[in-house]
A and B are shown apart, each in its own frame.
Chain A
Amino acid sequence: MSGLGSLIPLPLPLSDADLERFRLRLDRRAATVPAGELLMRKRGQSLEFREYDAYVPGDDVRFVDWRLSLSRGAPWEFWKKSFDTEEALRIVVTVDQSPTMDGVEGSGKRLIAAWLAEALGRIALLGKDRVVLHRLAAEAATRDAGEPVDDSGEQGVERWSGMSTEIRNQQAGGKIRDWLCESDSLSCGDGGSQADGLQAISRCLQPGAVWLIVSDFFCPPRCSELLAGCVTMATQRRCTVAVLELDSWPWERSLIVDRSCRMVGPGVDPQRHDLRFDVDDALLRRVETRIAQNRDVFFDRVRLGAVRSRWSWPVVKKLDHASMFRDWFTNDPVIAAVLMAGGSR
């Protein structure tokens, strides 16, 4: 693990009291809404009768209402009883685990994302909601400098990979951060699903779920398009989608103090790419434009229904990640929207 590893073990900079305060906000939201607002009309196994349905082979014979079936007269026609069930709120947190999230030593993008996932997970578990954690990583094909970006989306060139896990009990909340940071590269853990990471997340996005995407959006355009399609599908399922962009570029830009630099970083092989530049303002402006265009590939497609926010790293000599996180978490509208998602629905 890179230098980021020294940041990962840091505990969540929010106290239990802070988390409890957010839980109370969640409870108040539940108390103020009409009863049944959170009920998802699904056939379940609660004791509240919903309706009679015709029995089909394969149904549980224990729910056949024999009296009704006999009174209706037809010897081959059976009626069974169905019941309503109440489903708890499900929060799906997708954390971009691409190598760019490791970023520069000390930037702490991955740590901030882990803290965020842990905070939301623990708050949700306090409210007896369910949390689905989703690790996602963009796989981009390496290419030579000057070669145009391949937007063809060829399989195996630019795609998402990832895995998800669902945390149901409160005792497992402390393992969220560990699970998110257990490996530099994604691998299939126990109980997880691999293959296409977006397929894994789509199964979790049931109606009413809240989906928070945390990424720096440095992923290739093809990956952005795929992710945007998944977000569109989620909004169609009446899921609440919130997007949180981690923007560390202002701080990384301040690291370029030498006029002549050799750029290194994730996804670029220094043996193949000779990224030596005489850096000037024009070059940096072009790079910034390129970053914005890459980001807009996603946001231009998910404009409707997505709550968006950007956490920008300050230009300071030494970053205080804990202070930054506390400030962002308590004041950010996206976080408020996620926590109030049920109330707004």
Chain B
Amino acid sequence: MTFSLVALASLSAISALTIRRMRRPKFVPVELSAVRFFLDEPPSESRRQWVLCPPQWRDRSYLMQMAALVLLLLAAGLQELTAPIDTALRVDIYVDGSGSMQTTQDGRTRSEMALEVLRQTLDKIEATEAASREVRVSTFDLDVDERVEPTSDLSGLRPHLEDVVRSRLLGTDLSALQRFLSRRPLNDSAWWPTHVVVISDQPAPKWSQESQRGSVQWLGVAKPVASHGITRIEPVRHPLSGGLVNLRVHVQARGKQPLEETTLTVSTGSAEPRMESFPVAWDGAGYARFDLARSRVFQAASGEPLRLELSGRDAWPADNRATVLLPDQTSVAVRWQVPGATVPDLPGWSTEEYPQVTGRNGEPPPLPRLVVTDFAGCGEFPESIPLLVVGHPDGSPGPAPNGADDWFLCSVFDDSPFLRDVNLDALEGTPEMKPLAAETLLLSLGQSDRPLTDVHVALAAFRGSSYETLQVALASLSAGGGRGPIVWMPLLPDFQELPINPETASDSDRQAAASRLAWQAVFLNSVSWLLSRDESPLFGLTDREHPEPNYEQAPFRLPLHPGEGDTSGESNTRAVFDPAVRIEREEPGMWWQLPVLLALVLLTVERVLALTTIRSERGLVP
């Protein structure tokens, strides 16, 4: 640090001196006997100007100043050079502890191979001549754990290596390792490493070779081995209703060995277990995909887990099985606000009472079920099921559902999901629509200071059975515990065909048709919105808090971290520690050579120009 200041100050002084010298008015006195013959020449202005080749050997003050500064720089630099050389050996070792290190390779796991490489590294360290030898061992997966404090007792460390280096079914986050290395202080630290060693089955990232302080020694332990597994599980929703209808499972085979005959077994239910096997048809790239129809595969009751398992043993079996929990997004409960109301006939929609299972095996209903309950206050059903409240057509919302403290009307806007595909323009001309909508909006918002929550929503349409006008408003429930989403409607729409002859239809007929279509769209949007509210994931991933996979009880945790099961890669780096590859400590004074070199070049150029000028002007050179 001291030299940095000296070098900076000296370089600045040299530059300032040279610039001042080049900028000075250099009217050097010259005595001539023929001076009177210069009288007729117009004198030059006394101005400062840039002159590239000012002379001059006789300008000794400038030369001495420059020489003093250069000598100062050299002295400071030599002091740095003559500083004692650090011959100690401090090795910082990072061992991959992710799930892929459990891959079996040549009869051993990669963790065992990493352990062997670690022992070889310790042997190398002990065999290297150094003033002192210290080792720090850390593991990394999704983050970095420092397992062994810096120690010089290598013999005492060896028996504990197996406990230190262990693999867990977690993912590998090399960016976390990079961040850790960049944050770990190397300077002004009591223990800064001379070597950084990483033992992993992952290919060496680019940053490991681009460190300004020297390359990280990346010791690879991976070879391509055959393995297959589940890579991704994702839900497929119904495009109209938004309900989950399919489960898409991606499987992939990796490695150079030929693929064996593999089957995917799907089982559901615990009380009445069902199991079905599907042969895996690999494509040329070793990829296969299964779309498991919900109606066909999961006939278990809501909340039952679905278990998937690939047959066969491979190098990394952790991705061969999975257990997922499918949300019950196939039913919408309908609560009737008026006793004795008649459920209208909704073609294609099942209206069997909850909790009876609707639909037959192999013949899934094209649309979600409408599980109709009795009028208000009657019947019990899980609050997690989406609820469609059908109120009286007099416009009142009726009594609040179970678990709701209050509810009231508010407005929705054109960009509301409930009004998607609703042709509001077709309803223009209905005089009562806009005033009513505006009045409802103002009253509801003006009288309520409760926050609106998007999971407690009601939808209202009004003006008689002909739907001459469409009033769309939201009603909000106050927070009522764990209740699921709710939509309130005055009546279910009529899906009966309403023939209209465009040539003979009156305006009222046209408005009735438009209102019916609009109301049907609002109904479908409401159901879709209700079913898409539950976006809970199918499964969770193992993490540092829960490193062990859980296939039995919800919440399920699987070791399906992206890229973790890819066993096709081969390490592209050496597997032996090299003591000669050292990490250079960032010494603030080591850049002294640059200012010294600049100063010398500057001085040399100035001197050469001066000499050339003198010889040329004296006629000593042509």
Contacts and interface: CB of A to CB of B under 8 A. Distances in A.
B28 A255 contact: no
Interface stretch (A123-131, A171-179, A268-276): A268-276
A145 B33 contact: no
A260 B613 CA distance: 13
A278 B41 CA distance: 11
B28 A249 contact: no
Nearest to A270: B29
Contacts, number: 132
A146 B38 CA distance: 9
A265 B35 contact: yes
Interface in A287-317: 287, 290-291, 294, 315
A263 B32 contact: yes
Contacts of B26: 258-260
B41 A286 contact: yes
A265 B31 contact: yes
A105 B39 contact: no
Contact of B30 (A144, A263, A286): A263
Contacts of B618: 254, 257, 315
Contact of B25 (A102, A107, A260, A273): A260
A64 interface: no
Interface string A138-151: 00100111111100
B190 interface: no
Interface stretch (B43-51, B66-74, B336-344): B43-51
Interface in B204-236: none
A291 to B, nearest CB: 6
B414 interface: no
B34 interface: yes
Nearest to B617: A257
B425 interface: no
A101 interface: yes
B27 interface: yes
Contact of B35 (A143, A254, A275): A275
Interface in A140-184: 140, 143-149
Contacts of B617: 254, 256-257
A104 B33 contact: yes
Given A254-B618, A283-B41, A315-B618, A263 B35 contact: yes
A104 B32 contact: yes
B56 A265 contact: no
A218 B28 contact: no
Contacts of A263: 30, 32, 35, 38
Given A248-B33, A265-B34, A143 B27 contact: no
A212 B224 CA distance: 111
Contacts of A260: 25-28, 44, 51
A287 B41 contact: yes
Nearest to A103: B33
B55 A273 contact: no
B33 A262 contact: no
B619 A254 contact: yes
Contacts of A252: 32-34
Contacts of A261: 27-30
Nearest to A255: B30
A333 interface: no
A262 B55 CA distance: 15
A118 interface: no
Interface in B1-35: 25-35
Most buried by B among A254, A275, A286: A275
B499 interface: no
A148 B44 CA distance: 19
Interface string A8-22: 000000000000000
B34 A249 contact: yes
A265 B38 CA distance: 10
Interface in B575-622: 613-614, 617-619
Contacts of A189: none
25 contacts: A101-B33, A105-B31, A107-B33, A145-B43, A218-B33, A255-B30, A256-B30, A256-B617, A257-B613, A257-B614, A258-B54, A259-B26, A260-B27, A261-B27, A262-B28, A263-B30, A263-B35, A263-B38, A264-B32, A265-B33, A265-B36, A276-B27, A276-B43, A276-B44, A277-B44
Given A146-B40, A277-B44, 13 more contacts: A100-B34, A145-B42, A254-B619, A256-B30, A260-B27, A261-B28, A264-B35, A265-B34, A266-B36, A273-B39, A275-B43, A276-B27, A290-B37
Interface of B: 25-44, 46, 51, 53-56, 613-614, 617-619
- Nearest 3 A/B pairs, CB to CB: A265-B35, A103-B33, A258-B28
